[in-house]
Amino acid sequence: MSDKFDVIVIGAGPAGYVAAIRAAQLGLKTACVDAFAGKDGKQALGGTCLNVGCIPSKALLDSSRQYWNIAHNFPVHGISVEGAKVDMAAFIGRKDKIVKQFTGGIGQLFKANKVTPFFGTGKLLKGNQVEITAADGSKQTISATNVILASGSVPIELPFAKFDGKHIVDNAGALDFTEVPKRLGVIGAGVIGLELGSVWKRMGAEVTILEALPDFLAVADADVAKIAKKEFEKQGLAIKLGAKLTKAEVRKNEVALTYEDKDGAHELVVDKLLVAVGRRAYTTGLLADDTGVKLDERGRIVVDEHCHTGVDGVWAIGDAVRGPMLAHKGSEEGVAVAEWIAGKAGHVNFDTIPWVIYTEPEIAWAGKTEKQLKDEGVPYKVGTFPFAAIGRAVAMNEAVGQVKMLAHAETDRILGVHMVGPGVSELIAECVVAMEFKGSSEDLARIVHAHPTLSEAVHEAALSVDKRAIHKGN
């Protein structure tokens, strides 16, 4: 096999593996280098997302939801179950099986598309050569006309609460607890903290989330954040805002936390601590000193709007570069870069990237928040519709939350949609399509939505922008 390729991708997460497949589809001779090893020590393609991120977290969210429903939802339907028990080995084992199925699936896709995988750590050398170091230390060098850096991200570690994999854990650790912790501390009320905090709360842990910022979920629309916080607290998640962790001391089988809020210093003792204070771009060992590729002040690979690093034939995508750390954002960049390399017209619209938080209720949005529009001085109209008035949501016993639509006051173009409620992870797709096609609230208002479905909340919110919602007062 020749070691000269058209494209080498470093990293096989959702950014890298998608770039590799698209490049191969376009007839480019493609290699993909990745160092991630699964629980069996073998190569596990798919990066953070498939191994310790999106997919395993959704598997545990679903299992834990089934368990929670037995006690909290079944009785409303007149169903009672006694003696429900959890087999932790099966609970974690199901998640592991799903991970293996999908990481193995990437291997199959590589085979089908003739992408050559390499198992090891890739380092970009000058002249678009890539040195690969295997786990046993052996090295080989391959080269390509184009190299795509897709090295992803790793959890941020707090210097005073270092991960030990046992008591103080990151996302990977919190996806692999062998028993339900009695008391779980979570640092950071971001997406990961809320999702994994929800998993263990549903399984019976006493969960306390400490968040340094005074506002809950400041990245989301304020109305959505307010509704979500109320619901999470009803479920028993203790959320402390303006609470900054300053110390974490492991004592025997527990962790003593010190945090500070406006009233001073407090202590909280937990059995396990999940530190979920964000992620940082991972570039350790990725770049030889003389490649010319630059990092910004946050350690991210510097790229232009076409994901080009400024070095001939070197591109970078996904969590390792600017923009939201979301799997689908990285994948779309991967497709676009492969297409640009092949001389085609790639495209990523950063204005319509959907965000989803898979808690219950789910949270989803795309576009601008009301605050952003106010700050930018953009004139807008608002339409809202509550799930409490949606027949399907009531029938499901999940009639919580709302859809809120923001449209330009003059042109009616949809500028943002913010949802909290049942199934909104799927409902947001309709709004993204409308926004991508520069649609107006009137467009969505005039489209037939099936009855009774949750999507009627989108339809009614669109009608409500023009104060003509049918099933509520305007």
Q: Which residues contact 55 (CB under 8 A, 6 or more apart)?
A: 46, 49, 98, 99, 102
| Beta partners for residue 120, in sequence order | none
Measured between alpha carbons, how far is 200 from 169 in angstroms, rounded to an integer? 14
Question: Which one of residues 30, 63, 116, 121 is an interface residue with ligand FAD (CB under 6 A)?
Answer: 121
| Residue 282 lies near ligand FAD (rule: CB under 6 A) | yes
Q: Binds 277, which of ligand AMP, ligand FAD, none (CB < 5 to 8 A, cut-off by type)?
A: ligand AMP
In the complex, least distance from residue 39 CB atom to ligand FAD, rounded to whole angstroms: 14
Where do runs of H (alpha helix) occur along 168-270? 171-174, 191-202, 222-234
In the complex, least distance from residue 260 CB atom to ligand AMP, rounded to whole angstroms: 9
Q: Which residues contact 249 (CB under 8 A, 6 or more apart)?
A: 255, 256, 258
Question: Which one of residues 38, 104, 204, 278 is an interface residue with ligand AMP (CB under 6 A)?
Answer: 278
Q: Which of 432, 412, 423 is nearest to 365 (CA)?
A: 432
Q: Is 451 a catalytic residue?
A: yes
Binding segment (CB under 6 A) for ligand AMP, from list 54-62, 96-104, 186-194, 391-399: 186-194
Q: Are 163 and 26 in contact (CB under 8 A)?
A: no
In the complex, least distance from residue 276 CB atom to ligand AMP, rounded to whole angstroms: 6
Tokens of residue 438, six digits: 């520069």
In the complex, least distance from residue 80 CB atom to ligand FAD, rounded to whole angstroms: 33
Q: Which is nearer to ligand AMP, 252 or 262 (CB)?
A: 262
Pick the catalytic residue from 308, 328, 451, 471: 451
Q: Which is nearer to ligand AMP, 124 or 277 (CB)?
A: 277
| Strand pairing report for 129-133 and 121-125 | antiparallel
Q: Which is nearer to ligand FAD, 302 or 389 (CB)?
A: 302
Phi/psi at 118 (nearest 5 deg)? Answer: -125, 140
Cα dihedral 36, 38, 42, 43, rounded to 10, equals: -30
Q: Which is nearer to ligand FAD, 53 or 401 (CB)?
A: 53
Number of Cβ within a 10 Å radius of residue 413 = 17
DSSP assignment letter at 97: H
Binding segment (CB under 6 A) for ligand FAD, from list 64-72, 91-99, 149-157, 410-418: 149-157
Q: Are 221 and 418 in contact (CB under 8 A)?
A: yes
| Residue 421 lies near ligand FAD (rule: CB under 6 A) | no
The interface mask with ligand FAD, positions 351-370, x = CB under 6 A, is -------x------------
- Angle, vertex CA 445, rays to CA 439 and CA 446, nearest 5: 90
Residues binding ligand AMP (CB under 6 A): 158, 187-192, 210-213, 244-245, 276-278
The residues binding ligand FAD (CB under 6 A) are 10-16, 33-36, 47-49, 53-54, 57, 121-122, 150-153, 171, 192, 282, 285-286, 318-320, 325-328, 330, 358
Active site residues: 451
